Amino acid sequence: MSAGPYLLAIDNGTQSVRALLFDVQGNLAAKSQVFLEPYFSTHPGWAEHDADGYWQAVCEACRQLWRSTSIDRAQVKGVAVTTQRGTVVNVDEAGVPLRPAITWLDQRQTRQIPPLAPWWRAAFRLARLDGTIGYFRREAEINWIAAQQPDIWRRTHKFLLLSGFLNHRLCGQFIDSTGSQVAYIPFDYKRHAWAGRHDWKWQALAIKPAMLPALVAPGSRMGAITAAAALATGILEGTPLLAAAADKACEVLGAGCVEPHVACLSYGTTATINTTNQRYLEVTRFIPPYPAAMPGAYSTEVQIFRGYWMVNWFKEQFGDRERQAAAENGSGLPAEALFDRLVDSVPPGSMGLMLQPYWSPGIKVPGPEAKGAMIGFGDVHTRAHMYRAILEGLAYALREGRERIEKKSGVTITVLRVAGGGSQSDAAMQLTADIFGMPAARAHVYESSGLGAAICAAVGLGYHADFPAAVRAMTRQGRVFQPHADQVRIYDQLYRRVYRKMYARLQPLYRDIAEITGYPG
């Protein structure tokens, strides 16, 4: 263990909150974790969470951290927060939540939306973007709360993302990072600032500029830990709070993916493929690249909304045997290792079972009618084949994302890094290398999003000259999985001849299902 200094990264994900201590060489020195219920739902499609519950989990994670390590808290020179994207909190002047947080998993929509000026409507129609703009306005939590809970909206002093809410609890300021702004909000993704006064978003969303926090770039100092926050968390009062970015952006940074030819696959609740660019690049027209965790940079992204949520879904629905065996046997093998054995018991291609992983609809690619599909069933197939087909389907979808990014950017992706919970599976890593036909490397630490936040803090505090220098010093490659030529050939044919054709052929049937059943997603 190094003598310090140390950086505290607070990572508030969907499944848990983690408090992580890194040194300035990128080594994880101590960790604690508090698990969360991802959401509660009082209506079909709603996904909410007690906002104060997030803060209490942060406090408990920090207190656990200090109990688990002998590191002197005086050696912790800075704190940075990274959180799940798109989870929003309404607060009053004191920062007290006025209603539960609406999480990024929420599916509610509203038809009561502010009117757009005629010239905007005409412009969007001419550009054939009226459907996309309409989706944005219906999905925006701002518009739903303003329409359905007008009293709460009238009392709302600030409308914050989860990151801004936690930053306020820590430093007492309504402030957030530009790198965290991923939601249905009036943000200019090209300029990394709140939208200009004449931007259409101010008409499309029922919000005023004064209701939003101040924004600073990743690595900027936002304030210091207050006496109240110090009492609640055990972090020393006065410790600087630095701006980081959203969890996916921090994960890309923590995996060392800061050039456009290096792709980061994130095997998390949402599975994504990202590259970092210095130029603004829309992989899907009118779907902006998100802010990177480096100031002024853009994170091009293709996402599979339900991603490795599908893996957890399978384990909950069909994995009782492995979970029970892990609990009962004396070998110490975790359930994840037993699930890897399940994957390895099935040949590449899952004996013809193919999965399209659109368990949730999209905006454009896939469209709002999209559903999941599994084709090719025969009497030889078991739950092991289903499990492998899920992992393969996610990798196929991300390979398709790679091709879209390459086509739009003109840059060939030559390096592949994999982060997120799914990257811990050797079986998932190997089939990823085989489906992409290129080496797949793990990040050197599993906690890549926390490391990305620590990198932001390290740069902001001057421990490294700039972000590229910090990435060189604090990230490195972990285990590399080499593609197997015979498996690459099988997967390449299945991808080109089957997977690439599935969505177009099933799309009309998805529309019919929605029309007949009235269930759109």
Reported as a single tens digit per residue, the pLDDT across 179-216 is 999 999 999 999 999 999 999 999 999 999 999 999 99
Q: Where are the beta strands (DSSP E) in 152-288?
A: 158-161, 175-177, 187-188, 193-194, 214-216, 221-224, 240-242, 262-267, 271-277
Section 136-153 average pLDDT:
97
End-to-end CA gap in the chain: 49
User: What mean pLDDT, rounded, does the chain reach?
Assistant: 94
**Nearest of 148, 37, 136, 48 to residue 89 by alpha carbon:** 48
CA distances from 41 to 6, 46, 51, 102, 146 (A): 39, 5, 14, 10, 20
Mind listing the pLDDT tens digit for each residue in 384-427?
999 999 999 999 999 999 999 999 999 999 999 999 888 999 99
Long-range Cβ contact pairs of 143-147 (< 8 A, separation 24 or more): 143/110, 143/112, 143/113, 143/114, 143/205, 143/206, 144/108, 144/109, 144/110, 145/90, 145/99, 145/102, 146/206, 146/207, 147/110, 147/112, 147/113, 147/206
**Nearest of 139, 247, 513, 503 to residue 357 by alpha carbon:** 503
Position 421 scores a pLDDT of 86
The residue with tokens 């090209």 is 190
Dist. CA 366–CA 135, nearest whole Å: 14
Residue 521: pLDDT over 60: no
Residue 457 amino acid letter? A
* Whether the bond into 5 is cis, omega within 30 of 0: yes
CA distances from 282 to 123, 151, 333 (A): 19, 38, 44
Position 333 scores a pLDDT of 65
Section 103-118 average pLDDT:
93
**Pick from 220-224, 225-229, 328-332: least confident:** 328-332
SS3 label, residue 456: helix
Long-range Cβ contact pairs of 491-500 (< 8 A, separation 24 or more): 491/348, 491/349, 491/392, 491/431, 491/434, 491/435, 491/437, 492/437, 494/349, 494/354, 494/396, 495/396, 495/399, 495/435, 498/354, 499/354, 499/356, 499/393, 499/396, 499/400, 500/400
Contacts of 470 (CB under 8 A, 6+ apart): 455, 458, 459, 463, 464
User: What confidence tier does 1 reach under pLDDT thresholds 50, 70, 90?
Assistant: low
Position 364 scores a pLDDT of 73
Long-range Cβ contact pairs of 185-193 (< 8 A, separation 24 or more): 185/140, 185/142, 185/159, 185/161, 185/212, 186/212, 189/280, 189/288, 189/289, 189/290, 189/291, 189/298, 190/280, 190/288, 192/217, 192/291, 192/295, 192/296
User: What confidence tier does 332 reach under pLDDT thresholds 50, 70, 90?
Assistant: low
User: What confidence tier does 89 reach under pLDDT thresholds 50, 70, 90?
Assistant: very high
SS3 label, residue 66: helix
More confident residue, 518 or 416: 416
Dist. CA 14–CA 103, nearest whole Å: 9
The residue with tokens 């100092």 is 221
Section 134-151 average pLDDT:
96
Count the residues in the chain. Answer: 521
**Is this prediction's pTM over 0.85?**
yes
25-41 burial, b for 16+ CB within 10 Å, e for fewer? Answer: ebebbbbbbbebebbee
**Nearest of 60, 100, 453 to residue 244 by alpha carbon:** 453
Residue 441: pLDDT over 60: yes
Mind listing the pLDDT tens digit for each residue in 263-299?
999 998 889 999 999 999 999 888 899 999 999 999 9
**Pick from 24-33, 162-171, 280-289: least confident:** 280-289
More confident residue, 43 or 128: 43
What percent of the chain has pLDDT above 70? 98
Q: Is the backbone of residue 178 left (phi > 0), alpha (psi -120 to 50) or beta? A: alpha
Residue 520: pLDDT over 70: no
Dist. CA 502–CA 355, nearest whole Å: 9
